[in-house]
Amino acid sequence: MESFIQQVINGLQLGLMYALIALGYTMVYGTIGLINFAHGDVFMIGAFVGYLGYSSWGLPWPVAIIVSMAVCAALGVIIERIAYRPLRYAPKIAALISAIGVSFFLEYGSSLKFIFGPDYRVVQRPFRSITWNLGGVSITNIQVVIMAVVIIFLLFLLFLVFKTKIGAAMRTVSFDHDAARLMGVDVDKTISFTFAIGSALAAVGGVLYAIAYPQIYPFMGIMPGLKAFTAAVLGGIGQIPGAVLGSLIMGQVETMTAAYISSQLRDAIAFAILILVLLIRPSGILGRSQQEKI
Partner 1 sequence: MFQKTNKMLLMVIGAVVLYVLLKIMITTGVINPYWQRVLFYSLIVTIGALGLGIIYGFTGQFSLGHAAFVGLGAYSAGYFSKTFGQYGGLSFIGALLVGMVFAGLMGFLIGVPVLRLKSDYLGIATLGFGFIVKVALDNADKIIPELGGARGMVGTPQVANLEWLFFTALIVIVLTRNFIFSTYGRACTSIREDETAADMIGVNTFKTKLMAFTFGCALAGLGGGLYAHTYPFICPGDFYFLQSFDYLIVVVLGGLGSMTGTVVTAIGWAFLLEGLRFVLGPQFVDFRGVIYALILIITILVRRQGIFGGKEFGFLVPQVRREKPDAALRG
Residues that contact partner 1, how many (by CB under 8 A)? 43
User: What is the rounded CA–CA span in Å between residue 234 and residue 95?
Assistant: 22
Least separation in angstroms between residue 233's CB and partner 1 is 5
Contact between 91 and partner 1 by CB under 8 A: the answer reads: yes
| Residue among 131, 183, 268, 288 that touches partner 1 (CB under 8 A) | 268
Does the footprint of partner 1 cover residue 90 (CB under 8 A)? yes
| Burial grade of 281 (CB within 10 A; 0-12, 13-18, 19 or more) | middle
For residue 221, what are the contacts with CB-CB under 8 A and spacing of at least 6? 40, 41, 42, 43, 44, 47, 106, 107, 206
- The contact mask relative to partner 1 for 46-85 (x = CB under 8 A, - = no) is -------------------------------------x--
* Closest separation in Å from C-beta 104 to partner 1: 4
Measure the N-to-C terminal CA separation of the chain; round to a whole number of Å: 54
Give dist(CA 188, CA 171) in Å, integer: 14
Q: CA 62: distance to chain centroid?
A: 19
In the region spanning residues 106 to 125, those forming contacts with partner 1, defined by CB under 8 A, are 107-109, 111-113
Nearby residues of 80 by Cβ (< 8 Å), 6 or more positions away = 191, 192, 195
**229 contributes a contact to partner 1 by CB under 8 A:** yes
- Determine, following the binding rule CB under 8 A, whether residue 292 of this chain makes contact with partner 1: yes
Which of 1, 275, 289, 291: binder of partner 1 (CB under 8 A)? 275
Q: Collapse the DSSP code of 18 into the 3-class scheme (helix H, G, I; strand E, B; otherwise coil) and give the result.
A: helix
* String marking each residue 174-213 x if it binds partner 1 according to CB under 8 A: ----------------------------------------
Stretch (H or E) spanning 138: strand 137-140
Q: CB of residue 237 vs partner 1: minimum separation in angstroms?
A: 8
Nearest distance, CB of residue 293 and partner 1, angstroms: 10
Identified binder of partner 1 from the candidate list 57, 62, 100, 260, rule CB under 8 A: 100
Q: How far is the CB of 19 from partner 1 (least distance, A)?
A: 18
Residues 6+ apart with CB under 8 A from 191: 31, 32, 80, 85, 173
Q: Which residues contact 33 (CB under 8 A, 6 or more apart)?
A: 92
Chain contacts with partner 1 (rule: CB under 8 A): 35, 83, 86-87, 90-94, 96-98, 100-105, 107-109, 111-113, 226, 229-230, 233, 237, 264-265, 267-268, 271-272, 274-275, 278-279, 282-283, 292, 294
